[in-house]
Amino acid sequence: MKIHYITIEGIESRGKLKLSDKGITKVNPGDLVIWDIVPDEGVVRVNKILKDENSNNVFSIGPVRIKNSTAWLGVINPTIPQAEEDYTIEYTAKDKDFRFDPKIQVNS
């Protein structure tokens, strides 16, 4: 099991998030994924992280917000075969809500 930290480093043009993994996270079954924001770089908070409607669900737990934190946690399903999930990060910046759509790729 590996822990993948995705840092939300800020906002690029048109509301695109600047992510430490460039928006494509490569994981293995059973891995953990943790998202967190860099303070004072534009993103005030993450409101939701959710699977896109027509995409695979690669998580067995979450993603859920870690209590008393700006971080979110998801656990990749330990029995999932090779798959890809398109997901959405809904976030607030400057009192306005935005959406960004990265990917998670599960290796078998």
Kind and range of the H or E run holding 29 = none
Mean pLDDT along residues 13-24: 91
34-54: per-residue pLDDT in tens?
A: 999 999 999 999 999 999 999
Q: Encoding tokens for residue 84? A: 């890809």
pTM of the model: 0.93
68 falls in which pLDDT band (50, 70, 90)?
very high
Q: What is the C-alpha separation between 50 and 53, in angstroms, rounded?
A: 9
Q: What is the CATH number of the domain that holds 30?
A: 2.60.40.420
Mean pLDDT along residues 68-95: 95
Range of the domain at 8: 3-106
Domain count, the chain: 1
Residue-level pLDDT at 13:
79
Where does the chain show beta strands of DSSP type E?
3-11, 17-19, 24-27, 32-37, 45-51, 59-65, 72-76, 83-93, 96-100, 103-106
CB 57 within 8 A of CB 40: no
